[in-house]
């Protein structure tokens, strides 16, 4: 059993070491955030059984390549893992504010020596800080595989 675990660990580390990551685009945009019951909520839509505080940001759709709207939500959204109470973010001041959103798009490649192919993914990370809380969202899209020689 120890041999199997050790072999798996060696293979995983070799596979991980070969993975490549390239930043394609990185930009910061200023977008409106509605900190009222319309734009902020505690929801598990898109997160299974766990409820998170989420901000809805309609303007995000025009700035991103991938769909950051969780199923059932009325706009793209970001979640925070730093509090589970909407009131902590609203702070008795339900207004609309403008915040900087960082949008990073990366190409991630995973070579497969066995079949001489390369799996390619586009990953888009969005983040912002609202009233001291970090909000994030990530989407990943698998792209068509390539020949391993193109895996750079």
Q: Per residue of the chain (152 residues), give pLDDT as tens.
A: 334 443 444 444 444 447 899 999 999 999 999 999 899 999 998 888 999 999 999 999 999 999 999 888 899 999 999 999 999 999 999 999 999 999 999 999 999 999 999 999 999 999 999 999 999 999 999 999 999 998 86
Spatial separation of the C-alpha atoms in residues 61 and 108, rounded to whole Å = 22
Q: Which residues pair with 96 in a beta bridge?
A: 34
Amino acid 12: pLDDT: 45
The label of the residue with tokens 């909000």 reads: 135
Collapsing DSSP to helix, strand or coil, 89 comes out as: helix
Number of Cβ within 10 Å of residue 108's Cβ equals 15
The edge-to-edge listing of strands for the beta sheet with 52-56 is 20-34, 96-112, 117-130, 133-147, 77-80, 52-56, 40-43
H or E stretch covering 60: none
Angle at 120 between CA 106 and CA 44, to 5 degrees: 65
């Amino acid at each position: 059993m120890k041999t199997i675990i050790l072999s798996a660990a060696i293979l995983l580390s070799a596979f991980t070491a070969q993975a490549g990551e390239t930043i394609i685009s990185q930009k910061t945009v200023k977008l409106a955030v509605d900190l009222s019951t319309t734009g902020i909520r505690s929801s598990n839509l898109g997160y299974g059984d766990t409820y998170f505080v989420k901000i809805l940001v309609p303007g995000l759709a025009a700035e991103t390549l991938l769909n950051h709207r969780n199923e059932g939500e009325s706009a793209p959204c970001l979640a925070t893992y730093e509090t589970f109470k909407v009131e902590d973010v609203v702070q008795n001041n339900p207004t609309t504010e403008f915040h900087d959103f960082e949008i990073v798009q990366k190409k991630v490649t995973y070579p497969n020596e066995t079949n001489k192919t390369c799996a390619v993914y586009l990953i888009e990370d969005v983040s912002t800080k609202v009233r001291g809380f970090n909000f994030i969202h990530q989407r990943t899209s698998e792209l068509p595989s390539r020949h391993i020689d193109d895996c750079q």
